[in-house]
């Protein structure tokens, strides 16, 4: 057994035995794409799939981190273990904020039922979304009951990350007209619930109304009532129409008000997350979403493997270097050079295989 | 000649003859990855490389679009042609803002020396960054002297897009403490100049100072002066230290104040962009950056070709579908399934080739 394989084996056992150092080491290997990281993930795969993954996204300054901190504390009061993966570079979890915030966050990590990890957003082997999903897999396999993924809801890849969770919450604040702009640009569609944070500030009710209008929950001041449907959904009074076809039929995303810094509304937000989870389970959508996520993940792993093959194992870089002068001078296009590289690779394989 | 090849041929000739309908059609084919789009790009490649590409990025609400509108008008006064590629979903150019803004922007498009295009940020064949670069290539080949790329400076991919321009400007506004958070998170490094927009509002000077401190231009109130260096840089008084090694040695990113809505400071911003261009040219960095960009682009084209090969031409999807039940149940890991798909593909090729 190679050194890497022996180490991978040890780490997999360590994660299975809930060793925190093994967990930290396994995540680092995965995050940095070190030798053997796919073997580790492969060995952990049968243990993955129990955590409820919650994506929390929103513009910078919307108070996501404070909200998450509160949510974590409430989960802990309920004796539920939680991991937080911070992909937001402006998050206090990743070091992007005031020292006071950061210290408050870090105090959480003294609790063994909490694990906080920030993703280095550069240098991920196969794209940030793929690597983040793999880090969540490790945390899931370790046994965390909730995995919260914090991203900043403006960028493409960050949205994709939040959108691949089981339940996605979009956090907005009254003063951010920007947030509403982002909404209009289609960010909305990914969210299963909307949280208007800092709702003790002026404009909160107006924002709630704007969001509800955008969701089609209300038009002007006219509510449309529909009955409760699916177990656990009693009491909700409206549904989005027309259905967006994205597998959310029957779920009307609630718009909630919180003031996380004061602890207001956070319990209700957690209840909504739990209701969404119950909804996904009772309708079979949870299984469906996970299936789609696994298919997508497999595609990304294949693409990454092919890329590694051509650029690291075979001589793609050498062929590229040999042709680059001609590309720069305009004699050769990047497309012809690319075709040569792919052809060489196939040729090589044809002989080798 | 196939229908696609004949059409591609016609479009390439049309772009060469500066036909705007051909340009629009070529961009659409490229953006949507339609049959023959790589042939079009390949044929246009010898004509690419004359435009100065300017990335303009910043948080939503920083007034990027107003600034760009002013910049475009000034360029037109100087008889320079300009294309704008808006990747920012919150931009008025892409329809994410107030109607009044949008109409003002659209009035620009009556001028044949201006071309405005917003990127649909979903469904790009090979990643948003690659496709955006290709759209810029078409505009460059068409003959636009400046190609401005507007992105929202928070997301990963959006930063990568702005960072692949020849000159990148980061726009901030006094009221956005968020902007500074983003800065701290490392966004800073990508910019060649910093624009404090809406600088008629309170806090502008403080923000200028904060940015300068972060850039190492000043520490507290102590300036470090260094002499002017490299042609065209006279009058600038400070340089970043230590050098970040990213090929910007000798260029001290200026921090400029604008109030674009009032037309203040925009001429100076353009002058700084031109100075940066002159700097890149005189030091050979322009050629170096373009070479690196072409190498990276070729890598992305190869990766895209391999992905197309496995998922569209061969039976990758069928193998995936056949194994997915086992992946969902945990009997098979996505990594083993991926390995099977890659192996099957190689096997196939070994026989076929």
> What are the tens digits of pLDDT across the range B151-187?
877 666 777 788 789 999 999 888 765 555 555 555 5
Minimal CA separation from A149 to chain B, in Å? 15
The answer for residues whose C-beta is within 8 angstroms of residue A189's C-beta and 6 or more apart is A244, A246
Task: State the ipTM, two decimals.
Answer: 0.84
Q: How confident is the model at residue A214, as a pLDDT?
A: 78
Q: How confident is the model at residue B82, as a pLDDT?
A: 97
Instruction: Tell me which of A182-196, A303-317, B29-43 is least confident.
Output: A182-196
A271-281 pLDDT tens trace? 999 999 999 99
The beta-carbon neighbor of A156 closest among B38, B121, B186 is: B121
Task: Please give the average per-residue pLDDT across A273-300, as a whole number.
Answer: 95
The answer for residues whose C-beta is within 8 angstroms of residue B9's C-beta and 6 or more apart is B1, B43
Minimal CA separation from A234 to chain B, in Å? 31
Tokens of A96: 């992007």
Residues on chain B touching A65 (C-beta within 8 angstroms): none
pLDDT top residue among B110 and B353? B110
Q: How confident is the model at residue B134, as a pLDDT?
A: 95
Q: CA nearest B334: which of A53, A135, A301?
A: A301
Minimal CA separation from B217 to chain A, in Å? 21
Exposed/middle/buried for residue B2 (C-beta within 10 Å: 0-12, 13-18, 19+): exposed
A77-123 pLDDT tens trace? 999 999 999 987 666 666 554 455 556 666 777 888 999 998 876 54
pLDDT top residue among A296 and A219? A296
Task: Please give the average per-residue pLDDT across A225-250, as a whole number.
Answer: 39
Q: How confident is the model at residue A188, as a pLDDT?
A: 59
pLDDT top residue among A289 and B249? A289
pLDDT top residue among A321 and A172? A321
Helix A266-283 / helix A285-308 crossing angle, nearest 10 deg: 90
| CA closest to B328 among chain A residues | A291
Task: Please give the average per-residue pLDDT across B106-111, as a whole number.
Answer: 76
Bridge partners, A171 (sequence order): A195
Minimal CA separation from A235 to chain B, in Å? 34
> pLDDT tier at B91 (50, 70, 90 boundaries)?
low
Are A136 and A39 within 8 A, CB to CB? no
If you count residue pairs, one on A and one on B, with CB atoms under 8 Å apart, how many are there? 220
> pLDDT tier at A167 (50, 70, 90 boundaries)?
very high
- Output phi, psi for A346, to 5 deg: -70, -40
Buried b (16+ CB within 10 A) or exposed e, A166-181: bbbbbbbbbbbebbbb
Task: Please give the average per-residue pLDDT across B201-217, as a whole number.
Answer: 85
The beta-carbon neighbor of B60 closest among A96, A97, A181 is: A181
The answer for residues whose C-beta is within 8 angstroms of residue B302's C-beta and 6 or more apart is A310, A316, A338, A341, A342
Residue to test with chain B: of A42, A335, A344, A351, most B Cβ within 10 A: A335
The verdict on a CB contact (< 8 Å) between A185 and B302 is no
Residues on chain A touching B323 (C-beta within 8 angstroms): 298
Q: How confident is the model at residue A186, as a pLDDT?
A: 54
B290-319 pLDDT tens trace? 999 999 999 999 999 999 999 988 889 999
Average pLDDT over all residues of chain A: 82
> pLDDT tier at B224 (50, 70, 90 boundaries)?
very low
The beta-carbon neighbor of B181 closest among A49, A90, A294 is: A90
The verdict on a CB contact (< 8 Å) between A290 and B328 is yes
Q: How confident is the model at residue A237, as a pLDDT?
A: 32
Domains and CATH numbers, chain B: 1-46 (no CATH), 48-283 (3.40.50.300), 314-352 (no CATH)
The answer for residues whose C-beta is within 8 angstroms of residue B162's C-beta and 6 or more apart is B55, B56, B57, B149, B151, B153, B168, B190
Minimal CA separation from B45 to chain A, in Å? 6
Q: CA nearest A141: which of A79, A55, A50?
A: A50
The verdict on a CB contact (< 8 Å) between A294 and B338 is no
Exposed/middle/buried for residue A230 (C-beta within 10 Å: 0-12, 13-18, 19+): middle
Task: Please give the average per-residue pLDDT across A147-165, as a whole number.
Answer: 81
Q: How confident is the model at residue A228, as a pLDDT?
A: 33
Minimal CA separation from B228 to chain A, in Å? 31
Mapped onto helix, strand or coil, the DSSP state of residue B182 is: helix
Residues on chain B touching A244 (C-beta within 8 angstroms): none
Tokens of B85: 């590629």
Q: CA nearest A161: which of A54, A244, A255, A292?
A: A54
- B212-to-B198, B238, B239, B256, B285 alpha-carbon distances in Å: 18, 10, 10, 10, 24
Tell me: pLDDT of B143 over 70.
yes
The verdict on a CB contact (< 8 Å) between B306 and A303 is yes
Are B54 and B169 within 8 A, CB to CB? yes
Q: How many CB atoms lie within 10 A of CB A237?
A: 13
| CA closest to A287 among chain B residues | B328
Round to whole Å and give the CA distance between A145 and A51: 5
A12-63 pLDDT tens trace? 999 999 999 999 999 999 998 888 999 999 999 999 999 999 999 887 778 8
The verdict on a CB contact (< 8 Å) between A342 and B306 is yes
Tell me: pLDDT of B147 over 60.
yes
């Amino acid at each position: 057994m190679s050194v890497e394989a022996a180490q991978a084996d040890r780490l997999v056992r360590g994660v299975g035995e809930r060793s925190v150092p093994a967990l930290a080491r396994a995540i680092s290997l995965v995050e940095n794409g070190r030798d053997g990281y796919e073997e580790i993930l492969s060995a952990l795969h049968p243990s993955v799939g129990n955590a409820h993954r919650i994506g929390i996204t929103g513009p910078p300054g919307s108070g996501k981190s404070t909200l998450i901190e509160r949510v974590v504390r409430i989960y802990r009061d309920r004796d539920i273990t939680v991991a937080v993966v911070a992909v937001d570079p402006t998050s206090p979890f990743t070091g992007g904020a005031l020292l006071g915030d950061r210290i408050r966050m870090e105090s959480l990590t003294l609790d063994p039922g909490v694990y906080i990890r920030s993703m280095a957003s550069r240098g991920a082997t196969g794209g940030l979304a793929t690597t983040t999903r793999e880090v969540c897999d490790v945390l899931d396999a370790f046994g965390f009951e909730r995995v919260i993924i914090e991203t900043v809801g403006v960028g493409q890849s960050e949205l994709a990350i939040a959108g691949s969770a089981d339940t996605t919450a979009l956090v907005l604040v009254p003063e951010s007209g920007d947030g509403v702009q982002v909404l209009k640009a289609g960010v909305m569609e990914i969210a299963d619930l909307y949280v208007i944070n800092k709702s003790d500030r002026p404009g909160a009710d107006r924002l709630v109304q704007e969001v509800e209008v955008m969701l089609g929950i209300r038009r002007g001041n006219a509510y449309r009532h529909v009955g409760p449907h699916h177990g656990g959904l009693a009491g909700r009074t409206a549904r989005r129409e027309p259905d967006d076809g994205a597998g959310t039929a029957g779920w009307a995303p609630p718009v909630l008000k919180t003031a996380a810094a004061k602890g207001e509304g956070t319990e209700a937000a957690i209840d909504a997350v739990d209701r969404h989870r119950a909804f996904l389970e009772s309708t079979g959508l949870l299984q469906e979403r996970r299936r789609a996520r696994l298919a997508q993940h497999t595609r990304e792993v294949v693409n990454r493997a092919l890329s590694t093959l051509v650029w690291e194992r075979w001589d793609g870089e050498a062929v590229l270097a040999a042709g680059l002068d001609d590309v720069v001078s305009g004699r050769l296009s990047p497309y012809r050079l690319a075709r040569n590289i792919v052809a060489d690779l196939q040729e090589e394989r044809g002989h080798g295989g």
